Amino acid sequence: MMHSKRSSSELLHVTKRFFSIEKTGAGIGNVQDRMMPSSLRQEELFRHSKNPKTVSIIGAPMTYGQPFVGTDSGPNLLREAGLLNMMTSLGWRVEDHGDIDFEKIANTASNEFSPGARNCGIVGAVNEHLSSVVEEKIKMGRFPLLVGGDHSIGIGSIAGVLRARPNTGFLWIDAHADINIPKLSESGNMHGMPVGLLMEGVAPDFSELPGMDWLVNGPRMTPDSIVYIGLRDVDAAERSIIRDKNIMAFTMHDIDRYGIGAVMDMAIEHLTKENANRPIHLSYDIDAVDPLLAPATGTTVRGGLTFREAHYVVEAVAVNGNLASADIVELNPTLSDSEGAKATIDLGLQLVTSMMGKSII
């Protein structure tokens, strides 16, 4: 693993200096970012959460799905930037579940080597725990908001969501398809596998993967239950799977061609055509956004979503009313200078508040 010698607490101490987000504004040009809830009636939004609407903020400081330390600081940096108070300003009751102690779980996880799946035992063990937390929050009628951490936490979030709500549809906002499995992966990094590991007809034999035996009997997502938005860096094997399984995928080419409004209309229509009230899980990797706007992430690819496209994605699914759970991942302030790190955290915070009901009018 390419971990630095700095501990997580040291990294957090260093990065704190960069994120004194001004109360009068946020984002490029310090434009004022008013925390105004949607003017739509409360019962029209987040209809799958019980009243009074409660968001459970679950810190998921995962670093083991990819080679860079720093993604574990994301949850605390968003909290320190004002996430909890912003949620209350939008009308939510807030339960801060705190950060899951991944290091404690990792210390007791299997260290058995698994070809094609780096840190498989640790990633499996922590996601088993995470899936149980997500399932529990949903069954309590709350909205689980997972704050990563790298995208391997998608293994736990998908599994927990499907156990609680098997008919859930998924919006995967990412530059990458994350539909690899160990025998196909070019890197072995498990942040590129959450969809592949849980996909019906793609998932491997979990009895052969250390720490993953809890997934032997499912759950599984179906190819028609997911829509990709923002793809622009897809491995050859992933490309074949997407085509063979006829998975709906909107690349950046499609966004250029149709516009983000039409793309979101088609995506949501696809997921809700048989059930207008189908719950939707939104998984947002910050690398979906162009690196000029969000440079502090591990796998940047040029030509991503613009500032407004990035926001429109979350605004559209929020207004639809079916958004029932979400995660935001791969914010890593150590992979950019102070200005780039602050811009990325600012943007992540704005995307979260927009998906949770912030509205212009």
Residues serving a catalytic function are: 151, 174, 176, 178, 191, 285, 287, 330
Query: Dmax over Cα atoms in the chain, in whole Å?
Result: 54
181 φ, ψ (degrees, to nearest 5):
-135, 165
Neighbour order of strands in the sheet with 323-329: 93-99, 54-60, 143-148, 323-329, 280-285, 169-173, 226-231, 248-251
| Omega within 30 of 0 (cis) for the link into 148 | no
202 φ, ψ (degrees, to nearest 5):
-125, -35
Q: What is the DSSP string of 47-82?
A: TTSPSSPEEEEEEE---TTSS-TTGGGHHHHHHHTT
Question: Exposed e or buried b for every residue in 93-119, given b needs 16+ CB within 10 A?
Answer: ebbebebbebeebbeebbeeebebbbb
CB of 235 closer than 8 Å to CB of 174: no
Structure tokens at 357: 């009901």
